[in-house]
Amino acid sequence: MQQELFFKARIGLVAMGSAEPKQLRLAFGEHPPTQFNITWQTQRPVDEPVVEYGETPNLGKRVVAERIRYPYETGAIYRAYLNALKPGQRYYYRVGSRNGSYSRAYSFRTPLDRPHDFVFTAFADHGTTRHSVQNSRNVLAHNPTFHFIAGDLSYANGRQPIWDTYLEQLEVLAARIPVMVSFGNHENERIEGQRIGYIAAETRFGMPNKGQYYEFTISNARFVAFNSNERDDDAQYAWLERTLQRARADRAIRWLIVFTHHPLYGSTRRRGNNPAMIQRFQPLFDRYRVDLVIHGHDHVYERMYPMRENKAVVNSGTRYPKGAGVVYVTCGGGGVSLYDLMPEPTPWTAKREKTYCYLKVRVPVQGALRVEAYRGDNSLIEAFEIG
Ligand SMILES: [Fe+2]
């Protein structure tokens, strides 16, 4: 009986479940100062799903959402695209439908479309533990312009309802702050041995280019995200090279920051340096003088001194000249679990600790970029500056 109901629910013969909007989340569109998208899910399909929004809590504008589907969905996913937003403006919103209930009201702020100082936050390897939830609250408290999760998001590993748990937990952050993601090995899913690939993460997060590889710009910073599982993909590699080159040729861009899941260098017991990642990407990051590379995969905090040609260019201090080398930071303590460190760090490791962690990065128009790394309990691991 239960199996039959499950089957009928799957093929949509019975309208079961709630029409209550859940899992609200914001993401930047192609042009962050004016374009946001809002995604949510209801248990059963609804009529005329909408976002109501406006510059005051009275809302006043509405945009109809579209249903986004994938073969293993666990409900009805809706996404609305808000265009022509005002830069640097706070917007209030709620989501709902004609025949279902409405969400509570939230608000968000669009970034300015001119040079300005701003803060973003990041971590990777998130999961659904109490540490995961705490870490979402941690970064929210810094009110960043956006938050980035550098892969290994829900750890659904094929069990699609885990995505629902994950995204319900993420709402506390993602309904208020745009959350951008890149994909880790755990986004490449299998169901009962059958490879379904990235389709769940691609569908559930409304990233540019489905989240595989994309760029966005805030102020004078260019952010570049790519999928390090697909390290050998030549189209992605060609795009990455073009994108880094174009960023460095653009006089309006001062900071070039890369997000990807797998680190090049590291010293956890589970794995040390990643020769394949180094061989493929170190020459590119050096050539285009990437300022900062943020990744996860190793569930620790580990940060290298500025590096050039696989060596640290300095071996002390916490303030580095801009352009001296690429600074690699692993913040894989997003919440799911922690790894043990090897007894010895790499020759280039500036700081490492087995701890839950997040990064707060202040990106300035002038002066030094400042990275603060915090533990899950909000105590400071370290701070360093580039510039
Ligand atoms: Fe990973």
Which H or E element spans position 327?
strand 327-331
Nearest to 333 by CA among 286, 295, 277: 295
Q: How far is the CA of 164 from the centre of ligand 1 (A)?
A: 20
Q: What is the pLDDT of residue 17?
A: 79
Cα 8 to chain centroid, rounded: 35
Distance 244 CA to ligand 1 centre (A): 24
Q: Ligand 1 centre from 112 Cα, in Å?
A: 33
Q: What is the pLDDT of residue 5?
A: 47
Give the model's pLDDT for residue 14: 43
Q: How far is the CA of 229 from the centre of ligand 1 (A)?
A: 9
Supply the range of the domain harboring residue 362: 118-386
Please name the helix (run of DSSP H) or strand (run of DSSP E) that holds residue 295, with its range, or none. Answer: strand 292-295
Domain match, 149 and 102 both: no
The model's pLDDT over 292-308, given as tens digits with 9 standing for 90+, comes to 999 999 999 999 999 99
Could you tell me if 104 and 131 lie in one domain?
no
Does residue 265 share a domain with residue 150?
Answer: yes
Residue range 188-215, pLDDT digits in tens: 999 999 999 999 999 999 999 999 999 9
Tens digits of residue pLDDT in 98-152? 888 999 999 999 999 999 999 999 999 999 999 999 999 999 999 999 999 999 9
Report the separation in Å between the CA atom of 305 and the middle of ligand 1, taken as the mean of its atom positions. Answer: 23
Examine the pLDDT at 13 and tell me if it is beyond 50. no
Are 199 and 307 part of one and the same domain?
yes
pLDDT value, residue 99: 84
Round the CA-based radius of gyration of the chain to a whole number and report it.
21
What DSSP string runs through 114-174?
S---EEEEEE----SSHHHHHHHHHHHTT--SEEEEES--S--TT-HHHHHHHHHHHHHHH
Question: Considering only 8-22, 47-61, 357-371, which range has the smallest mean pLDDT?
Answer: 8-22
238, containing H or E segment: helix 234-249
Which residues, at least 6 apart from 89, have a Cβ–Cβ distance to it below 8 Å? 55, 109, 110
Whether residues 103 and 122 share a domain: the answer is: no
132 and 96 inside one domain = no
146: left (phi over 0), alpha (psi -120 to 50) or beta: beta
pLDDT at res. 12: 45
| CATH number, residue 94 | 2.60.40.380
Determine contact, residues 365/125, Cβ cutoff 8 Å.
no
Q: What spacing in Å lies between the alpha carbon of 207 and ligand 1's midpoint?
A: 19
The average pLDDT across 267-282 equals: 96
Q: How far is the CA of 287 from the centre of ligand 1 (A)?
A: 26
Structural domain ending residue among the three candidates 109, 142, 165: 109
176, pLDDT greater than 50: yes
Segment 370-387 shows an average pLDDT of 98
Task: Return the sign of the alpha-carbon dihedral for residues 227, 232, 234, 238.
Answer: positive
Q: Is the pLDDT of residue 38 over 80?
A: yes
- Residues 289-320 as b/e (b if ≥16 CB within 10 A, e otherwise) read bbbbbbbbbbbbbbbbbbbeeeebeeeeeeeb
Encoded tokens for 188:
């490449």
Q: What is the pLDDT of residue 100?
A: 81
Distance from C-alpha of 243 to C-alpha of 249, rounded to nearest angstrom: 10
- The answer to whether residue 36 scores a pLDDT higher than 50 is yes
262 CA → ligand 1 middle, Å: 7
Q: What percentage of the chain reaches a pLDDT higher than 90? A: 95
Distance 102 CA to ligand 1 centre (A): 36
* 40 pLDDT more than 60: yes
Which residue carries 């993601």 as its tokens? 181
Core vs surface per residue 76-112: b (16+ CB within 10 A) or e: bbbbbebeebeeeeebbbbbbbeebeebeebebebbb
In the prediction, which pLDDT does 1 show?
A: 41
- My answer on whether 342 and 372 are in the same domain is yes
Looking at 73, 89, 109, which one is the last position of a domain?
A: 109
User: How far away, in angstroms, is 80 Cα from ligand 1 center?
Assistant: 30
Q: How far is the CA of 209 from the centre of ligand 1 (A)?
A: 21
Using CA atoms, how far apart are residues 357 and 368, in angstroms rounded to an integer?
Answer: 22
User: Which residues have a Cβ under 8 Å from the Cβ of 261 and sit 6 or more positions away?
Assistant: 124, 150, 151, 152, 182, 183, 184, 185, 227, 228, 229, 295, 296, 297
177 C-alpha to ligand 1 centroid (Å): 24
pLDDT in tens, 45-100: 999 999 999 999 999 999 999 999 999 999 999 999 999 999 999 999 999 998 88
**Do 52 and 124 have their domain in common?**
no
127 C-alpha to ligand 1 centroid (Å): 11
- How many angstroms separate the CA atoms of 218 and 140, rounded? 19
Looking at the fold, whether 11 and 136 belong to one and the same domain comes out as no
Token digits for 265? Answer: 């260098």
* 15 pLDDT more than 60: no
Based on the structure, what is the number of domains in the chain? Answer: 2
Which residues on neighbouring strands pair with residue 111, listed in sequence order? none
Q: Are residues 89 and 130 in the same domain?
A: no
CA of 236 to the centre of ligand 1 (A): 19
pLDDT of residue 16: 64
CA of 141 to the centre of ligand 1 (A): 26
Distance 152 CA to ligand 1 centre (A): 5
What percent of the chain is predicted at pLDDT more than 70?
96
Q: Select from 47, 79, 109 the last residue of a domain.
A: 109
Residue 352 clears pLDDT 50, i.e. is over it: yes
Centre of ligand 1 from the C-alpha of residue 267, in Å: 15
Average pLDDT, the chain: 95
Residue 237, pLDDT score? 98
What letter represents residue 236's amino acid?
Q
CA 270 to centroid of ligand 1, rounded, Å: 12
Q: What CA–CA distance (Å, rounded) separates 197 from 195?
A: 6
Q: How far is the CA of 192 from the centre of ligand 1 (A)?
A: 20
Report CA(134)–ligand 1 centroid distance (Å).
Answer: 20
- Residues 6+ positions from 384 with CB-CB distance below 8 Å: 303, 318, 319, 320, 327, 350, 370, 371
- What CATH number did the domain enclosing 379 receive? 3.60.21.10
What CA–CA distance (Å, rounded) separates 191 from 203?
16
Distance 226 CA to ligand 1 centre (A): 14
Give the SS3 label for residue 47. Answer: coil
147 and 94: one domain? no
- Asked if pLDDT for residue 11 goes beyond 80, the answer is no
From ligand 1's centre to the CA of 334, what distance in Å? Answer: 11
Does residue 91 sit in the same domain as residue 145? no
For the chain, counts of helices (H) and of strands (E): 6, 26
